[in-house]
Structure 1
């Protein structure tokens, strides 16, 4: 099975090891993995900021960069959800309509691709850690991902997974929301981290590094004894 990796901007710049770990896991799962080095952004930041014409230019490039790929897999439910749910609106009644429809059907977030497409929920990972899982808004509401990450994490040897209170509540990042409404954003991060700590977890795991980046910043600023990990980094552990 041929898979094209889409690596979001912030992972490319800030968390490249997560991209390499996703590659490692997909290859172990038997995939032939390709990476188009011409790829850039999915267009979500410009779209969310209201610059739809600029976003459309970026999205058009994305369509061309991933034309013909069997599957497009990303370590981000946020970017995946944007391609699935907002590309059809941007390109409605345009010459790209069919291309967008095809791309939507073959674009997947990493954990849902493993579980729902490859039918794999055990990668042989090992990690001695007590952790809790954070449902990102994009994963939960835009990609409808809930059980897939938990199935994968439930099969990681040595990992004790506990649920935190109000697990489906937003972490407060929301892209530019964290910049425009900083006090509210910080308050939401405080609530999320407090709930995670009350569960007894040492680590917060998620499908989205955007959420984790926000939470990790709060954790480090407060000097709290907690860490964050992307699910790809967890699944690449111990082998």
Structure 2
């Protein structure tokens, strides 16, 4: 199958390794991965902060670049924006062409694509570490990915998966929320980090690097030795490494 990778601007700027991991993983499973160089931001930050006209412009660009192709992204929050916000943006802008284009999109978060589209749980990964999983708010509440990431992680050879207490609680990032409500955001991530450390995990993983950045910053200040990794990076690991 040919798939097109939407890497998300946050990953493109700060975490290029995540995009490489997705590509390596999908190619290992026998699929062709294309990266449209014309891609830019999906418009999530514009949409959530009230710049709906600008968000609609980015939505038009996104639909023009990706069209009706199968699109995979390592960002649950961006996948949720495309699927949930684009139809609303089209209605708000009175743009039937955008509404039609948005309806034709097939955008999947990575774990959704692997489990639901490819029907794969064991991707041949090897990662000999103790891992806990943080379900980010967008993956949990907007996309409702459920236990798909956990099923993938349980199939990784050598990996010990441990439950995260209060996993459904927000880490406190929330994009602009962390900047506008800094004190509350810090209190929320302090709770999250306490729960992570209680698991004695070596690694905490998630489907959004934005949340992992917030959690990782707090963990680094405690010098607790817990690493943060995107789900794709774990799934891309093999015994040959």
Same fold (TM over 0.5): yes
| CA deviation after TM superposition for structure 1 residue 78, in Å | 0.2
C-alpha deviations, 1:122-177, integer Å up to 9, x for none?
11111111111001000011111121101110011111001111111001000000
1:165 and 1:223 map into 2 onto residues whose CA distance is: 21
8 Å CA contact 2:73, 2:79 repeated in 1: yes
Corresponding position: 1:51 with 2:51: yes
SS at match of 1:123: coil
8 Å CA contact 2:76, 2:143 repeated in 1: yes
1:79 is matched with: 78
Aligned partner (choices 99, 102, 105) of residue 104 of structure 2 = 102
Gapped regions of structure 1 (runs ≥ 5): none
Matches within 5 A, 1:1-239: 1-69=1-69, 71-92=70-91, 94-103=96-105, 106-238=106-238, 239=240
| CA deviation after TM superposition for structure 1 residue 95, in Å | 2.1
1:134 and 1:222 map into 2 onto residues whose CA distance is: 19
2:150 and 2:66 map into 1 onto residues whose CA distance is: 29
8 Å CA contact 2:18, 2:230 repeated in 1: yes
1:219 and 1:15 map into 2 onto residues whose CA distance is: 18
Greater Cα shift, 222-231 or 168-177? 222-231
Q: Cα RMSD (Å) of the superposition?
A: 1.0
2:183 and 2:29 map into 1 onto residues whose CA distance is: 43
Gapped regions of structure 2 (runs ≥ 5): none
8 Å CA contact 2:47, 2:85 repeated in 1: no
Which aligned segments of 4 or more residues in structure 1 are displaced greater than 4 angstroms? none
2:136 and 2:68 map into 1 onto residues whose CA distance is: 29
8 Å CA contact 2:86, 2:99 repeated in 1: no
